[in-house]
Amino acid sequence: MSEGEIVIYKRGEIAQPPMPPVPKRIDPQLLQIIMLDDLKVAASKVANILTPTTRFVDLARSSAGPARTLTILDNLGAGQLEQFHVRAPNTNFRIIIAVDMRYFVKTYDEIREIQQNSPELSAFAELNEDGDPTGHYIASIRDIPYKNSIWVRVQNTGSAPVTFSQLFVKYTIKE
């Protein structure tokens, strides 16, 4: 653009010839408003590209035989594991998460031991409203960002089949 050249903006794009008659001088405030509108359009397009999308995978009532593994999530690309939640009738399970090819492999008991030191982890025996055990065990992992890939699995470590009454993951991807 040469000095003194007048450029006409039209909602996010430069007007192409044939150009309408242009006044010799555009009010600087009007030009600023037009340029700001153009910036808003561009920012909106960028925001749409980077807007995270939340997704859920729910495998409630899924069963795994002895030493068998269930895959709950296998995703390529950047995002964040918002929450992984498992509810089982016993503590005979292991959670395996690979984040950018780094592995987190912990049993319910191991998660319960380390949960005091990490706000992203929790494992506990479920209690009813009277404070009595329900016979179910909960493990939850939250807020784990990833750049390239993630997969989440749960493995039955017991000698009998187990049915997970709750088994879900909530995650966000950048599209």
Per-residue pLDDT for 36 more than 90? Answer: no
CB–CB of 78/150 below 8 Å? no
Domain range for 14 is 9-50
Q: Of 34, 50, 66, which marks where a domain is finished? A: 50
Q: Are residues 99 and 22 in the same domain?
A: no
**N- to C-terminal Cα distance for the chain?**
34
Q: What is the pLDDT of residue 92?
A: 97
**Per the omega criterion (within 30 degrees of 0), is the bond before 18 cis?**
yes
pLDDT per position as a tens digit, 141-155: 999 999 999 999 999
Per-residue pLDDT for 32 more than 80? Answer: no
- 2 occurs within a structural domain: no
For the residues 26-34, what does the mean pLDDT come to? 64
- 115 occurs within a structural domain: yes
